[in-house]
């Protein structure tokens, strides 16, 4: 069964979301029906094609409407659509968007904004928020400034959104059919005639790297027993070469660099997929590879544990806030209360109202709501955080089990090595 890729598009305004999705379909050369909650976007580059389900959700008070149809790990990218000229537009979804990337950061997280009526201050705030929370800010109204000094053809607006989606490693992606030998020779001949001497040199060097990444064997002989064994030396070489491709391609043109990056990414993707199909056993890994895997698992566990603690702390704060709201009903408006300025500093004051409260929605913004709506807000937050905490705990337990298995196998291999030395 083929893998399904999903993109989630969030935003408080329906027309803005539809406009972004419609433009994506237009850029991809496909038809779009605005009355569907889920559409299929056919992404295609020179090297691959990938059908991606686009799920659109309205987000108000940092809660999606309707609720997400799938778990967060079933999506692979997120696009948040806002109007930078209206502060409420951003406030409606910024906390929900942050929780998504805190729980399961995607490779593509975009904050897409209409800035036609926005002030520079509002745009700057959104750019700062994006930078702090792992999002890329895309200005839909940005105009490309022509310059002779621009070596890189930097995309703007919706073209940049599509470019970012093209760079993602979608689960549903499939390599395009290979060129015939005649076509390949013709293309290579034309490129050779137009490239400069130094570019040819750089291209040849990088091509050598790519040849080193070639995956041995062919799918037509997949049943051959010799091809069932994964070449772990090749795996190590692949990882090392992939890390060096960016440095080796610095002197290439931007177009060449993009093409090479896409080619290398697909090679790595296919190789890892082949490893998964062959069910690589940890016992087959060398001590060096096991130690590298151990370090990676420990780093991931540390990051996940920090995120888990943050989720639990946030959940506790919302629960305490709800308890404070309940206690307001019995409060005397004429009685002095202590107002906390910090965790250890309080000043005397009086309650102005028992029916209306200011709710902190983050990033220094407050929204006035009734006590009832504020309690509902807190309930949604607690429920959402509990769901994410449970999911994250499952992931952490799986990582811990994997780490324990790696440590046991490493210990066994070290004992075997010591026994071999004694002999």
SS3 assignment, position 155? coil
Q: Which residue has the higher pLDDT, 332 or 222?
A: 332
Taking residues 144-153, what's their average pLDDT? 48
Taking residues 1-24, what's their average pLDDT? 89
Distance (Å, rounded) from C-alpha 102 to C-alpha 388? 10
Taking residues 41-69, what's their average pLDDT? 89
pLDDT the model gives residue 205: 42
CA quadruple 234, 239, 241, 242: dihedral, nearest 10 = 130
Taking residues 207-214, what's their average pLDDT? 45
Residue 38: how many other CB atoms lie within 10 Å: 10
pLDDT the model gives residue 167: 82
Contact 206, 260 (CB under 8 A): yes
Pick from 56, 84, 60, 62: nearest CA to 12? 60
Taking residues 36-53, what's their average pLDDT? 87
The model's confidence at residue 230, banded by pLDDT at 50, 70 and 90, is: very low
Angle between the N-to-C axes of helices 371-422 and 94-103, in degrees from 0 to 180, rounded to the nearest 10: 20
Distance (Å, rounded) from C-alpha 214 to C-alpha 30? 34
- The CATH topology of domain 289-332+352-411 is Helix Hairpins (1.10.287)
Taking residues 204-224, what's their average pLDDT? 42
Report the share of the chain in percent with pLDDT over 70: 71
CB neighbour list of residue 197: distance below 8 Å, 6 or more residues apart: none
pLDDT the model gives residue 269: 53
Cα 179 to the center of its chain, rounded Å: 32
Cα dist. 74→104, 167, 204, 389, 419 in Å? Answer: 10, 18, 40, 17, 47
Asked if the model's pLDDT at residue 219 lies above 50, the reply is no
Per-residue pLDDT reduced to its tens digit, 266-301: 555 555 555 544 555 677 788 888 888 888 888 888
pLDDT the model gives residue 79: 95
Q: Which of 46-55, 77-86, 113-122, 341-350 has the lowest mean pLDDT?
A: 341-350
Taking residues 56-85, what's their average pLDDT? 91
Domain definitions of the chain by residue range: 5-174, 199-280, 289-332+352-411
Cα dist. 420→289, 406, 409, 414, 416 in Å? Answer: 20, 21, 16, 10, 6
SS3 assignment, position 347? strand
Taking residues 358-367, what's their average pLDDT? 75
Cα dist. 139→30, 120, 127, 167, 372 in Å? Answer: 24, 12, 10, 19, 37
pLDDT the model gives residue 360: 80
Q: Which residue has the higher pLDDT, 356 or 112?
A: 112
Q: Token digits for 192?
A: 């050779």
Taking residues 298-312, what's their average pLDDT? 86
R_g over Cα of the chain: 27
**Exposed/middle/buried for 233, CB within 10 Å: 0-12, 13-18, 19+?**
exposed
pLDDT the model gives residue 53: 94
Can you say whether the dihedral through the CA atoms of 386, 387, 388, 392 is positive or negative? positive
Across the chain, mean pLDDT equals 76
pLDDT the model gives residue 192: 58
Per-residue pLDDT reduced to its tens digit, 98-109: 998 888 878 889
pLDDT the model gives residue 159: 92
Q: Which residue has the higher pLDDT, 400 or 154?
A: 400
Q: Which of 207-216, 231-240, 242-251, 287-296 has the lowest mean pLDDT?
A: 207-216
Strand partners, 64: 59
Pick from 199, 215, 200: nearest CA to 264? 215
Distance (Å, rounded) from C-alpha 61 to C-alpha 88? 9
Cα dist. 382→13, 101, 112 in Å? Answer: 25, 18, 28
CB neighbour list of residue 385: distance below 8 Å, 6 or more residues apart: 99, 311, 314, 315, 318
Q: Token digits for 275?
A: 């490893």
pLDDT the model gives residue 197: 43
Cα end-to-end span (Å), the chain: 51
Asked if the model's pLDDT at residue 78 lies above 90, the reply is yes
E strand map for 144-261: 174-175
Q: Which of 34-43, 122-131, 239-248, 381-390 has the lowest mean pLDDT?
A: 239-248
- The CATH topology of domain 5-174 is Rossmann fold (3.40.50)
Determine the length of the chain. 423
Residue 69: how many other CB atoms lie within 10 Å: 15
Taking residues 181-201, what's their average pLDDT? 53
Per-residue pLDDT reduced to its tens digit, 365-392: 778 888 888 898 889 888 888 888 888 8
Per-residue pLDDT reduced to its tens digit, 409-422: 887 788 777 777 77
Taking residues 84-106, what's their average pLDDT? 89
pTM of the model: 0.46
CB neighbour list of residue 384: distance below 8 Å, 6 or more residues apart: 63, 99
Distance (Å, rounded) from C-alpha 249 to C-alpha 208? 12
Q: Which of 85-94, 216-225, 242-251, 298-307 has the lowest mean pLDDT?
A: 216-225
Distance (Å, rounded) from C-alpha 64 to C-alpha 59? 4
Taking residues 254-261, what's their average pLDDT? 56
Distance (Å, rounded) from C-alpha 93 to C-alpha 10? 8
H/E run at residue 65: strand 63-65
Asked if the model's pLDDT at residue 149 lies above 60, the reply is no
HSE-CB for 23 with a 13 A CA cutoff = 14
Asked if the model's pLDDT at residue 218 lies above 50, the reply is no
């Amino acid at each position: 069964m083929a893998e399904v890729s999903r993109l989630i598009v969030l935003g408080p305004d329906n027309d803005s979301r539809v406009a972004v999705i419609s433009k994506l379909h237009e850029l991809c050369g496909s038809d779009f029906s605005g009355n569907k909650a889920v559409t299929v976007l056919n992404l295609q580059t020179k090297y691959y094609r990938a059908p991606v389900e686009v799920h659109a959700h309205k987000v108000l008070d940092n809660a999606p409407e309707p609720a997400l149809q799938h778990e967060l790990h079933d999506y692979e990218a997120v696009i948040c659509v806002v109007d930078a000229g209206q502060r409420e537009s951003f406030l409606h979804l910024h906390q929900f968007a942050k929780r998504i990337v805190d729980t399961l950061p995607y490779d593509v997280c975009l904050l897409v904004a209409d800035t036609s009526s926005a002030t520079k201050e509002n745009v700057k705030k959104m750019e700062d928020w994006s930078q702090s929370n792992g999002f890329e800010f895309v200005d839909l109204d940005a105009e490309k400034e022509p310059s002779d000094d621009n070596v890189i053809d930097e995309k703007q607006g919706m073209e940049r959104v599509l470019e970012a989606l093209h760079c993602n490693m979608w689960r549903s992606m499939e390599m395009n059919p290979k060129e015939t030998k005649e076509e390949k020779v013709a293309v290579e001949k034309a490129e050779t005639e137009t490239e400069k001497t130094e570019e040819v040199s750089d291209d040849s060097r990088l091509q050598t790297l790519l040849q080193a990444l070639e995956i041995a064997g062919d799918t037509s002989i997949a049943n051959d027993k010799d091809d069932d064994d994964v070449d772990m030396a090749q795996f190590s070489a692949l990882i090392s070469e992939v890390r060096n491709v960016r440095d080796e391609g610095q002197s290439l043109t931007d177009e060449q660099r993009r093409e090479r990056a896409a080619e290398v990414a697909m090679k790595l993707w296919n190789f890892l997929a082949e490893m998964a199909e062959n069910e690589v056993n940890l016992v087959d890994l060398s001590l060096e590879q096991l130690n590298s895997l151990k370090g990676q698992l420990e780093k991931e566990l540390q990051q996940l544990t920090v995120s888990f603690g943050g989720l639990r702390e946030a959940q506790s704060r919302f629960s305490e806030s709800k308890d404070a709201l309940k206690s307001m009903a019995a409060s005397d408006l004429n009685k002095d209360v202590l107002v906390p300025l910090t965790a250890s500093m309080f000043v005397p004051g009086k309650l102005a109202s028992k029916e209306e409260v200011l709710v902190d929605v983050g990033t220094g913004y407050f929204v006035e709501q009734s006590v009832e709506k504020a309690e509902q807000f807190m309930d949604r937050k607690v429920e959402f955080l509990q769901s994410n905490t449970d999911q994250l705990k499952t992931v952490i337990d799986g990582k811990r089990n994997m780490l324990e298995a790696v440590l046991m196998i490493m210990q066994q291999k070290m004992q075997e090595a010591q026994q071999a030395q004694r002999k």
